Structure 1
Amino acid sequence: MSHHHSNPTLTFELPDGSVSTVTVERLLNAGYAGKNQEEVRAHIDELAELGVPAPATTPTLYPVSPYLAQQTDRVSVQHGRTSGEAEWALVIDDEGRELLTAACDHTDRQLETHGVAWSKNASPDVLARKAWLYSDVADRMDRVILSGWVGAERTPIQSAPAAALLEPSYWLDVLEQRGERRPGTVLISGTITMDGSVDQFADRWGVALEDPELGRIELEYDVVRMADPIH
């Protein structure tokens, strides 16, 4: 085996019971990816008030370290100001099939004020263990519901049709132009509005994609504080 196979290998169960494998060669996180770009600009202004630097262009696309693509039930963090983001992930598996699954982009909100690209590299992108063929749901993304919840009580914090975000087809064109529409690519969608009345700094996060025909894909993980550093 060549040396680059230290890259993470993810496996997904498809609706027919078969298993898809992807060796992650490149992981891309979209940002500010709402379909209504006027709303996106309003969101950027809100973030600016919290000290998050505004991007030069929207939507954005941040390449992040492939090892951050993980299927895990626990995420270790350095402090109490980190939280997830409900997203979908477009995965091109080792056979070149384009899959859709649920993902949660765990983000360091403290680091985010210094630079979004940094914060994207500080915590994993957690992916679900099941996936659909994108072609099976491509024509009904407005009926696929993306949702996020927090805590043991599963308090809802995010929910919207997947079509509130730029669609996978938009990003497939971008990947095509970049020469990255090929096996080993994982692209995460950017997120939907968060309910500000719910505490996002929770010790558990979950995300689901729900389709009227194919059912539900979900993931959930504990957020675990590490010991304080010795310094």
Structure 2
Amino acid sequence: MHISFQVDSEQGSSRLDADIHTLIVAGWAGRDHAAIEHHIEELAALGISRPSAVPLYYRIASNQLTQAGQVQVVGPDSSGEVETFVFAAGGELYVSIASDHTDRKLEAHSVALSKQACVKPVATGAWRLAEVAEYWDELVIRSYIEENGETVLYQEGPLASLRTPQDLIAGYTNGAAMLPAGSGMTCGTVAAIGGIRPAQSFTMELFDPRRQRILRHSYQVEVLPEIA
């Protein structure tokens, strides 16, 4: 999948074209066991079975990546999840923000299939991972949804609550510090405030408190009829 990013770095802004042919969703990526258990219980309330291992790495078709501002889903039971998105391009790692949009009804049957059923929106902006790796734990991910005509904070938490990209990459590559060229990985999410639920609008952010900058992306959800 060919996607482009505007990379803001200490050297200025530049365009980066990336060909992502391997897409990985790192699930159950919390650093704190209690936080993982909370998310497992959230999903268990929806009838979703406990994971077989922690973390788990789901391969998703790379053509599911999109930078569009509107996505289409089948049925009313899907929802977004804000995650950092780390990808390899030109021999370097970059970080952006993505939504692991997932069909919750299908998730009760198969987590892997539910993740494949929905596209994965990703922002058009990115940072060099090397510039934020030293203070990675201070970065904050958050998301907002529209409910009853109001913008509501849906998720928020520091990346200190999640495994680092280096840890997740090593777990996927059997110890290597670098993702293979053309690979991208979402790196886990934080709990939903008020419970997991669908929304017609989803906004996600990655906040860098040291440099006072934000990666942000919003998308609208169009629900297609679920025909039996």
Shorter-chain TM-score above 0.5:
yes
Residue correspondence of structure 1 range 113-128 to structure 2 within 5 A? 113-128=108-123
Check whether the contact 1:23–1:184 (CA below 8 A) recurs between aligned residues: yes
Once the 2 structures are TM-superposed, how far is the Cα of residue 65 of structure 1 from its aligned partner?
A: 0.7
Once the 2 structures are TM-superposed, how far is the Cα of residue 85 of structure 1 from its aligned partner?
A: 0.2
Q: Report what 2:86 is aligned to.
A: 90
Residue 142 of structure 1: SS of its match in structure 2? helix
2:181, 2:151 → 1: CA distance? Answer: 34
Q: Report what 1:211 is aligned to.
A: 208
Q: Which runs of 5+ in 2 are unaligned?
A: none
RMSD, aligned α-carbons: 1.8
Structure 2 counterpart of 1:166, one-letter code: R
Q: Report what 2:48 is aligned to.
A: 52
Q: Report what 2:189 is aligned to.
A: 191
1:162, 1:51 → 2: CA distance? Answer: 27
Fraction of identical pairs, as percent: 28
Residue 120 of structure 1: SS of its match in structure 2? helix
Q: Report what 1:140 is aligned to.
A: 135
| Residues 117/228 of structure 1: CA separation in 2 closer, same or farther (3 Å cut) | closer
Once the 2 structures are TM-superposed, how far is the Cα of residue 217 of structure 1 from its aligned partner?
A: 0.4
Once the 2 structures are TM-superposed, how far is the Cα of residue 112 of structure 1 from its aligned partner?
A: 0.5
Q: Report what 1:101 is aligned to.
A: 96
Once the 2 structures are TM-superposed, how far is the Cα of residue 49 of structure 1 from its aligned partner?
A: 3.9
2:208, 2:119 → 1: CA distance? Answer: 25
| Residues 228/108 of structure 1: CA separation in 2 closer, same or farther (3 Å cut) | closer
Structure 2 counterpart of 1:12, one-letter code: F
Q: Report what 1:224 is aligned to.
A: 222
2:84, 2:150 → 1: CA distance? Answer: 23
Check whether the contact 2:38–2:191 (CA below 8 A) recurs between aligned residues: no
2:192, 2:116 → 1: CA distance? Answer: 21
2:116, 2:160 → 1: CA distance? Answer: 26
1:65, 1:48 → 2: CA distance? Answer: 26
Check whether the contact 1:92–1:185 (CA below 8 A) recurs between aligned residues: yes
Check whether the contact 1:104–1:206 (CA below 8 A) recurs between aligned residues: no
1:27, 1:51 → 2: CA distance? Answer: 26
Q: Report what 1:111 is aligned to.
A: 106
Check whether the contact 1:22–1:183 (CA below 8 A) recurs between aligned residues: no
Between the two proteins, the alignment pairs up a number of residues equal to 221
Residue 63 of structure 2: SS of its match in structure 1? helix
1:35-92, CA deviations, whole angstroms, 9 ceiling, x for partnerless residues? 1123313432443343101111111110111111111111101111110001100011
Check whether the contact 1:150–1:156 (CA below 8 A) recurs between aligned residues: yes
Residue 172 of structure 1: SS of its match in structure 2? helix
Q: Report what 1:4 is aligned to.
A: none
1:228, 1:105 → 2: CA distance? Answer: 21
Structure 2 counterpart of 1:173, one-letter code: A
